[in-house]
Structure 1
């Protein structure tokens, strides 16, 4: 299978955002490990996703759709290409030629929510993302549940601004969440994250990142709900090449993939409480839900 034709489709633009950057890095590691020369396609337009996936499938043995934005397109396209394998990272769809590979962002998001509840003085925390894709909804559900677990009386301002990659839009929403009383914001964004960071800094509130450890890059970050999705791309390639093309999920049991990274100024007592909660999740004493049925927040 060293001559396998692999096409990876990323939903965004090159160089914009940590989620896609992690996927690109994972693809590069897989290519080096297995002696492959995969093709990379970028599709920034939601209306063109299925068409781009179909074009990839026409010339590939394996198509990797990176991120939940690929679920709908793969569900539509895969039946027309039964001899092509489709891997959806951060996905939860099924089919005879589909497998999903996932790092459980909702688990590190639950820890992030608990930290936000324990850390905040006024008990108001914000969540912001772009599109309402299933993995983003699960991440929001985890954060909301963790916040409620730590502080049942906490207020959550949760919203989806409609675009993962627009810094100005993310900044505007963040500023309004801060004005509404949020002391900390958990943002699940990609290219738009720079706008959220700038707005957090301007408003004097703390940020919680995701995907990678943002605490090592900017002191505005209180924590980061790490979910290293590049590992899902590596897992997809390995599963295809070995003929064991089945779903795989990776959670807090693998801290190199899923964990809550804490800023240096987080109180050691809070760090101890976070670690204890991690253990409770791993032992199934605490369950991380995948659905949120609370109120949505909108600017104004």
Structure 2
């Protein structure tokens, strides 16, 4: 259930009895409670919804009780306040969905040493805090290679919203995938500042199309619809992320860099229930788990390209091809 604490709730919760150790607390609960924080909307058709679906899968498959909060502005103090509220529900584990929670989770985990904390797509750890990361950079690298092999104009695009670490890593991997496949292809890349603004995403995509981009990789949430409209109007194609957009909207999407962050959330709860919950560790989930990370392709992608992508994916898993998550270069500005 969505948790929205009242003043009375907080007074009652603050007076609760805390078990002496995390392991004792977890074992005492036959169906442990798991709390989750989603900074955006849980119906955004993107990253937040994937996490929410992971929470629901944990509830349905593992029998845990769940509570959550969503639509919290991604600022450290606001995120920290929401995490405190969730910790006070008596949850055995509090999951902060998204790397924007790194600082807030580390701060609040120190205040609740008997509670396990997890950041999905994070890179922070402490004695009661772990991160679970779906390696979206691996499918993003494949997306970049496919875009470079498919473009007819020699120009491809990338669009995202806020500058969180996973988004920057995904952009870098895409850019490096483009360069790996064809160094002559030009990349237009933009962080607009908003994941959910459709009017803005349509302007950015339209401007990229006007600059000759014929394939655009979108790392957006609810704001993806604006880019879809721009691609339809401008005759461009798109590569999605998070879920399989190529299956959902094949007239626009030639592929999708699937990186199901909900799998990270589900894995964290599986570890809790099995008694193997991690601390001081970062659990990485990549192409070795195709249910979580893969590049899906629409029927428009021919068999030769499919084989090239499959071979590249194998080389990434074996370590033959390195997926770099650093990139520097000129960015495409927000249009007026």
- Same fold flag (TM > 0.5): yes
Q: Secondary structure at the match of 2:65?
A: coil
For each residue in 1:135-169, what CA deviation from the matched residue of structure 2 results, as whole angstroms up to 9, or x when unmatched? 11111111001000001111111111111111111
Q: What is the correspondence of 1:1-300 to structure 2 with a 5 Å cutoff?
A: 1-47=29-75, 48-59=78-89, 60-218=91-249, 219-246=251-278, 247-299=282-334
What's the Cα RMSD here? 1.3
CA contact (8 A) 1:17 1:165 kept: no
Structure 2 gaps of 5+ residues are: 1-28
Using structure 2 for the length normalisation, give the TM-score: 0.86
Question: Is the contact made by 1:138 and 1:290 (CA closer than 8 Å) also made in structure 2?
Answer: yes
CA apart distance, 1:75: 2.3
Q: Which runs of 5+ in 1 are unaligned?
A: none
Kindly state the Cα deviation for residue 295 of structure 1 after the two structures are TM-superposed: 2.0
Compute the displacement of 1:71 (Å): 1.6
- Is the 2:140–2:257 Cα contact (8 Å) retained in structure 1? yes
**Shift of residue 221, structure 1, vs aligned partner:** 0.2
Could you tell me how far apart the structure 1 residues matched to 2:317 and 2:259 are? 16
Instruction: Report the equivalent of 2:5.
Output: none
Q: How many equivalent pairs are there?
A: 300
Name which of structure 1's ranges 115-124 and 53-62 shifts more when overlaid on structure 2: 53-62
Counterpart in the other structure of 2:24: none
- Show structure 1 runs of 4+ deviating over 3 A: none
> Within 2, Cα distance between the matches of 1:14 and 1:25?
9
SS of 2:56's partner is: helix
1:106-125 Cα deviation digits (max 9, x unpaired): 00000000000011122211
Output the CA distance in 2 between the equivalents of 1:14 and 1:147.
31
CA distance in 1: counterparts of 2:334 and 2:263, whole angstroms:
36
Aligned partner of 2:6 in structure 1 is none
| Structure 2 Cα separation of the partners of residues 72 and 128 of structure 1 | 25
In 2, the alpha carbon distance for the partners of 1:26 and 1:13 equals: 14
Contact 2:68 2:86 in 1 (8 A): no
CA contact (8 A) 1:165 1:191 kept: yes
Larger radius of gyration: 2
* Pairwise CA distance, 1:18: 2.2
